[in-house]
């Protein structure tokens, strides 16, 4: 009995203590999770809202517990939860943890060494954060680790050799950090490793030969480091290798003759931008699975193996920028490449290939989109059969010794976007069939011997951004049709030819181009005044012609012009004062017939930036110009003295008259004016007067059926009214009971009378009177935009009137460029810098061609006081100006209206356009914003946040294939949006740079 009693006591004792121990273990895991939450910032609490006492912690979001141990945490998966804060060391107490995923957040601080206590851990993913410091040297304690990714952080120091203790590791990614010194040889102990990615660090030294022990290695990425020396021969024994990328290092030596004997599975080989030399081994043909081979920018010599055609899966072969040779039979590799039916990209440019260009070049795969043979001493003609390569998008044959004519069959290459034939010996006429290449955006035919006239069919290239026909023997007039290439945004260069005739006024149509060079021709007549329409022009070269007359006054409107060369012409008259006030970096007016006093302001203060030689009638200027003084004889001095006295009296009388008129007009203004169209309207513009009765009748007594929108200060109606060629207008009726509405009306009138631009809404008239009840009435009449506002396209659920189809990527990009161009004009190229102050989708209107027009200038502000009459022209801002979500942060703290503020609004607008997410979306709370949402995905995951409707191909179907060009375009666009919407105004980029970047992005997209 005594033994039985003792046994019962032990059982009771065990039963008493067991719950207590279980409770303590459970509490340990719970407290570890709560400690983790406590170190997260306030903005992270919503993501962890389920982490509270109402649920068992095993049911918290992102937490998973085990089956055998149901109260022990085995996995914590919080990737892409927008978390910010530090990683709690208490996670080291989750001793049953097998998987920890905190990737794609905004975590900061160090990696806690306590995580290395997790001996059961198999998966550790801390990538895409802002972690700093070193990898803990105790990482080797996680002996069960199979997956380790710390990529895209700010980690530094050396890669700890203790990683070599992780014998079960299969994937190791440390790319895009700041690791230094050499790759530890201990990594060779990871015999199960299949992926090793150390790309974009600061690693130096040699590649350790021990990596040749990684028999399971399939993917080796060591791109963009400072690695040097030879590639270890042991690497070539890794028979499982699928993808080998060692680009952008300082590796040297040659490839062994048995290079591909073991690489039977190799699909991608990237060794470009190193210092490798020797020959391309013949054994390369044994890599039968190879699809991409990039050896560009090395020192490879010898010839291309003629058995390279055995690589029948090859679609990309880049061997440019080497010292590869070919003469005679050495060109047989081209015949061999005809077997590569998937070949899309072939780059052999900038080598030492010579001899006659084989006609077998035309036997290459019809899938070919990129062909580069430029900068080689090649002879012969361009074969007419080149027209068979119908998918070709890039053809680079420049800077060779090719002669003959351009075959007319080149017009069959309907997809061609870049044709580079510069610096050859081509002759004959430029074929008119080039006009068939409607996808062309860059055409380089300079430095040849072309004759005849410029074919007017080039006007068909409506996406052309660069046209260079310089240094040829072209004759005749410049076709007027050439100036209808509105897409020209980079350069038009027709210099050093024999073109004659006058410059047509249509030159003003090139309102997007940055450079025009028509120098050294036989052009005559005057410089057309329409040149000022080229508002984005930075470089204008007209030297070496026979131009005459004065410098046109309209040139003063070209605020962005930096380089002007008018030398060696027959221009005459005085040099206008405005020339000195323009922001030239270089001005050459030498060897003309200018006369009179040289201005002393602006660029004329810098003798090194101005060339005035050969103008013998010039005088004065700063002493450094070494011109004679402008001396008047006594008669002239007396004559001018009399004039001065008379002018003084006249000016005094005018001043008195102006004061009187101002007082009268001020009194009349106070008493109210009736039917005064557009207050303060300049006399240059005559507006058709509109009465209240006209508007009442046209809108059918302001019927709701004609209502097309409401804003802060009023409503907009569609109305049939006749204005020149316009039969339908939009009438904006001000709600004068709304505070600030009158001021908004006068502000909009003041702005719209001073600006004219194709991407700004056009005002047709206005009405300021009283209605039939004697109440004050104000309205503005605009051109009607049949495709409504951008907001209804971005968020079609807001518009119930009609269904909207999705905008395509190119349409969205065109709209972004239109809006940027309008802002650039307001900020930098208009008569007075203007800040819009309320840029948002509802204020971007689309015409029938989907061209965007910026409207609603009710909150606009002039940065400089234009005249004493206008109280509207001020840089200050009263209160919070703009719309929620688009208002710059500094405005909320009392900051002044500025062009940087407009840049912020534009940046948010661009991010909204390309993500389809509104900045006021309910997900953006607790400090999170659209900018932050996009920034977290930039640039590796940029396609994941892009609105998929932009890739629509059919109703409900999307094109999931994002090409490299589309990706690069999107990266450029999103980068602009992010740089414009930086929190600090000083960090935002100017809108002029945005216009250039987006135009480049459009070129990239269309190519």
Angle between helix 991-1006 and 964-980 (nearest 10): 170
From the list 104, 532, 838, 856, the catalytic residue is 838
Please say whether the dihedral angle defined by the alpha carbons of residues 56, 59, 62 and 65, taken in this order, is positive or negative: positive
Whether residue 676 is predicted with pLDDT greater than 70 in this model: the reply is no
Residue-level pLDDT at 15? 34
pLDDT at 9: 38
Residue 798 predicted with pLDDT over 70: no
1 pLDDT above the threshold of 70: no
The confidence score (pLDDT) of residue 796 equals: 75
Q: What is the mean pLDDT of the chain?
A: 85
CATH number of the domain located at residue range(s) 674-784 in this protein = 3.30.200.20
Q: Tokens for 337? A: 């490449």
Answer whether 755's CB lies under 8 Å from 677's CB. no
**Residue 172 in this model has a pLDDT that exceeds 70:** yes
- Greater confidence (193 vs 743) lies with 193
More confident residue, 683 or 901: 901
On the question of pLDDT at 677 being above 50, the answer is no
Rounded Cα distance, 654 and 138, in Å: 88
pLDDT of residue 881: 59
Local confidence band at 151 (pLDDT 50, 70, 90 cut-offs): very high
For 192-201, 387-396, 467-476, 643-652, which range has the lowest pLDDT when averaged over its residues? 643-652
Q: Judge whether 423 and 447 are in contact, CB under 8 Å.
A: yes
Q: Which one has a higher pLDDT value, 778 or 381?
A: 381
Tokens of 841: 């989708």
> Phi then psi for 931, rounded to 5 degrees?
-60, -45
Give the whole-angstrom CA distance, residue 575 versus residue 596: 8
* pLDDT for residue 951: 78
Sign of the dihedral through C-alpha 962, 963, 969, 975: positive
Query: In the β-sheet with 475-477, what is the strand arrangement from edge to edge?
Result: 475-477, 498-502, 522-525, 546-549, 570-573, 593-598, 617-620
Helix ranges (H only) for 825-886 are none
Candidates 389, 436, 431; CA nearest to 414 is 436
How far apart CA 730 and CA 733 sit, in angstroms, is 10
Q: 787-1006 falls under which CATH superfamily?
A: Transferase(Phosphotransferase) domain 1 (1.10.510.10)
The answer to whether the CB of 606 falls within 8 A of the CB of 588 is no
For the chain, give every residue range classified as CATH 3.80.10.10: 39-157
Every domain range in the chain assigned CATH 3.30.200.20: 674-784
Q: What's the rounded mean pLDDT across residues 272-290?
A: 93
Q: CATH homologous superfamily of domain 39-157?
A: Ribonuclease Inhibitor (3.80.10.10)
Residue reference for tokens 């270890």: 232
What pLDDT shows up at residue 763? 81
Tokens 């590869």: give the residue.
Answer: 324
Q: pLDDT band at residue 750, thresholds of 50, 70 and 90?
A: low
DSSP line for 301-347: ES---TTGGG-TT--EEE--SS--EE-GGGGHHHHHHTT-TT--EEE
Write down the pLDDT at residue 175. Answer: 94
Q: Mean pLDDT, to the nearest integer, of 469-485? A: 94
How much is the pLDDT for 13? 36
* The predicted structure's pLDDT at residue 11: 37
What is the distance between the alpha carbons of residues 426 and 692, in angstroms, rounded to a whole number?
A: 68
State the SS3 of 460-519. HCCCCCEEECCCCCCEEECCHHHHHCCCCCCEEECCCCEEEEECCHHHHHCCCCCEEECC
Average pLDDT on 83-104 reads 94
What are the pLDDT digits (tens) for 175-192?
A: 999 999 999 999 999 999
Which residue did the predictor score with more confidence, 705 or 597?
597
| Lowest mean per-residue pLDDT among 265-274, 473-482, 819-828 | 819-828
At residue 674, the pLDDT reads 38
For the chain, the C-alpha Rg in angstroms (whole number) is 36
| For residue 939, cis peptide bond before it (omega within 30 degrees of 0) | yes
Give residue-wise pLDDT tens across range 820-835. Answer: 999 998 888 766 788 8
Considering only the C-alpha atoms of the chain, give the largest distance between any 2 of them, rounded to a whole number of Å: 147
pLDDT band at 670 (very low <50, low <70, confident <90, very high): very low
Active site (annotated) includes residue 838: yes
- Tell me, what DSSP letter sits at residue 728? E
Per 3-state DSSP, the chain is made up of helix, strand and coil in percentages (nearest 5) of: 30, 20, 50
pLDDT value of residue 882 = 67
Tokens 């957040």, residue located: 105
Distance CA 456, CA 480 (A): 8
For the cut 50, the answer to whether the pLDDT of residue 760 exceeds it is yes
Residue 734 pLDDT: 84
Q: Is the pLDDT of residue 222 over 70?
A: yes
pLDDT at 773 over 90: no
Rounded Cα distance, 568 and 142, in Å: 78
Q: How far apart are CA 16 and CA 540, in angstroms?
A: 94
End-to-end Cα spacing for the chain: 96
Q: Model confidence at 806, in pLDDT bands (50, 70, 90)?
A: confident
Residues of the chain with CATH 1.10.510.10: 787-1006
Per-residue model confidence (pLDDT) at position 53: 83
Give the tokens for residue 162: 């203790």
Give the alpha-carbon dihedral of 154, 158, 162, 168, to 10 degrees. 50
Helix/strand/coil for 700: coil
- The model's pLDDT over 4-31, given as tens digits with 9 standing for 90+, comes to 344 333 333 333 333 333 334 568 899 9
Comparing 431 with 954, the larger pLDDT belongs to: 431
Question: What pLDDT is recorded for position 418?
Answer: 93
């Amino acid at each position: 009995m005594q033994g039985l009693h003792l046994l019962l006591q032990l059982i009771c004792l065990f039963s008493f203590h067991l719950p207590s121990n279980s409770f303590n273990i459970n509490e340990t895991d719970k407290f570890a999770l709560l400690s983790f939450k406590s170190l997260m910032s306030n903005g992270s609490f919503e993501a962890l809202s389920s982490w509270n006492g109402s649920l068992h912690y095993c049911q918290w979001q992102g937490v998973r517990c085990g089956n055998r141990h149901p109260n022990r945490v085995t996995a914590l998966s919080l990737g892409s939860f927008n978390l910010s804060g530090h990683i709690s060391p208490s996670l080291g107490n989750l001793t049953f943890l097998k998987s920890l995923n905190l990737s794609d957040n905004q975590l900061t601080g160090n990696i806690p060494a306590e995580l290395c206590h997790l001996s059961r851990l198999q998966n550790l993913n801390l990538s895409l954060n802002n972690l700093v410091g070193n990898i803990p040297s105790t990482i080797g304690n996680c002996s069960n680790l199979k997956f380790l990714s710390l990529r895209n952080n700010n980690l530094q120091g050396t890669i700890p050799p203790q990683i070599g203790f992780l014998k079960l590791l299969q994937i190791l990614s440390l790319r895009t950090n700041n690791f230094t010194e050499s790759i530890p040889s201990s990594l060779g102990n990871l015999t199960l490793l299949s992926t090793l990615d150390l790309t974009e660090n600061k690693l130096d030294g040699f590649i350790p030969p021990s990596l040749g022990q990684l028999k399971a290695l399939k993917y080796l990425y060591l791109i963009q480091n400072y690695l040097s020396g030879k590639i270890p021969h042991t690497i070539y024994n890794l028979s499982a290798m699928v993808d080998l990328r060692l680009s952008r290092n300082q590796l040297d030596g040659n490839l062994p003759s048995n290079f591909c004997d073991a690489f039977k599975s190799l699909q991608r080989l990237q060794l470009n931008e190193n210092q490798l030399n020797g020959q391309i081994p013949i054994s390369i043909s044994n890599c039968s699975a190879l699809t991409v081979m990039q050896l560009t920018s090395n020192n490879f010599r010898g010839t291309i193996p003629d058995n390279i055609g055995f690589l029948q899966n090859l679609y990309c072969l880049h061997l440019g920028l080497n010292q590869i040779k070919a003469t005679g039979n050495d060109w047989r590799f081209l015949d061999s490449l005809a077997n590569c039916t998937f070949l899309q990209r072939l780059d052999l440019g900038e080598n030492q290939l010579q001899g006659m260009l084989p006609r077998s070049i035309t036997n290459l795969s019809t899938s070919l989109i990129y062909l580069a043979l430029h900068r080689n001493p090649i002879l012969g003609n361009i074969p007419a059969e080149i027209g068979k390569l119908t998918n070709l998008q890039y053809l680079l044959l420049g800077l060779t010794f090719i002669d003959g004519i351009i075959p007319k069959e080149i017009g069959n290459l309907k997809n061609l976007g870049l044709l580079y034939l510069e610096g050859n010996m081509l002759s004959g006429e430029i074929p008119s069939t080039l006009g068939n290449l409607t996808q062309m955006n860059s055409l380089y035919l300079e430095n040849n011997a072309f004759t005849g006239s410029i074919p007017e069919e080039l006007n068909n290239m409506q996406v052309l951004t660069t046209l260079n026909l310089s240094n040829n023997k072209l004759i005749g007039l410049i076709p007027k049709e050439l100036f209808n290439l509105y897409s020209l945004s980079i350069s038009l260069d027709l210099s050093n030819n024999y073109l004659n005739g006058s410059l047509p006024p249509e030159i003003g149509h090139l309102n997007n181009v940055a450079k025009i060079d028509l120098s050294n021709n036989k052009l005559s007549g005057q410089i057309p005044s329409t040149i000022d329409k080229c508002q984005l022009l930075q470089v204008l070269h007209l030297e070496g012609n026979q131009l005459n007359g004065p410098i046109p006054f309209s040139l003063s409107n070209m605020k962005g012009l930096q380089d002007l060369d008018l030398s060696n012409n027959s221009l005459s008259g005085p040099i206008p004062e405005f020339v000195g006030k323009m922001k030239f970096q270089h001005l050459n007016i030498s060897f003309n017939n200018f006369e009179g006093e040289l201005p002393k302001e602006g660029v004329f203060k810098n003798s090194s930036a101005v060339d005035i030689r050969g103008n013998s009638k010039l005088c004065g200027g700063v002493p450094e110009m070494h011109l004679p003084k402008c001396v008047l004889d006594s008669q002239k001095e007396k004559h001018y003295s009399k004039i001065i006295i008379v002018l003084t009296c006249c000016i005094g009388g005018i001043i008195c008259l102006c004061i009187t008129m101002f007082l009268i007009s001020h009194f009349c203004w106070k008493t109210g004016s009736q039917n005064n169209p557009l207050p303060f309207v300049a006399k240059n513009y005559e507006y058709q007067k509109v009465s209240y009765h006209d508007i009442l009748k046209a809108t059918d007594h302001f019927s709701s059926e004609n209502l097309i929108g409401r804003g802060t200060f009023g409503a907009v109606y569609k109305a049939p009214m006749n204005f020149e060629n316009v039969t339908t207008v939009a009438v904006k009726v001000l709600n004068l009971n709304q505070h600030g509405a009158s001021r908004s009306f006068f502000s909009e009138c003041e702005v719209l009378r001073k600006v004219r631009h194709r991407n700004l809404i056009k005002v047709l008239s206005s009405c300021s009177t009283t209605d039939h009840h004697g109440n004050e009435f104000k309205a503005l009449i605009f051109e009607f935009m049949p495709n409504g506002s951008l907001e209804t396209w971005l968020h079609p659920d807001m518009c119930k009137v009609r269904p909207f189809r999705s905008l395509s990527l190119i349409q969205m990009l065109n709209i972004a460029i239109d809006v940027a161009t309008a802002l650039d004009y307001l900020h930098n190229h208009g008569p007075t810098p203007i800040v819009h102050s309320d840029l948002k989708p509802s204020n971007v209107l689309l015409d029938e061609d989907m061209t965007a027009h910026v409207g609603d200038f009710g909150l606009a502000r002039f940065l400089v006081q234009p005249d004493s009459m206008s109280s509207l022209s001020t840089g200050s801002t009263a209160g919070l100006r703009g719309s929620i979500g688009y208002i710059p942060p500094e405005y909320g703290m009392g900051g002044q209206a500025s062009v940087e503020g407009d840049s912020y609004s534009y940046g948010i607008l661009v991010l909204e356009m390309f993500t389809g997410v509104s900045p006021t979306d309910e997900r953006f709370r607790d400090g999170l914003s659209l900018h932050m949402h996009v920034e977290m995905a930039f640039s590796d995951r940029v396609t994941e946040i892009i609105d998929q409707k932009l890739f629509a191909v059919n109703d409900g179907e999307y094109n999931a294939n994002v090409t490299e060009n589309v990706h690069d375009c999107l990266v450029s666009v999103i980068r602009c949006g992010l740089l414009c919407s930086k929190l600090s105004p000083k960090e935002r980029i100017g809108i002029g740079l945005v216009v250039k970047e987006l135009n480049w992005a459009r070129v990239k997209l269309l190519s």
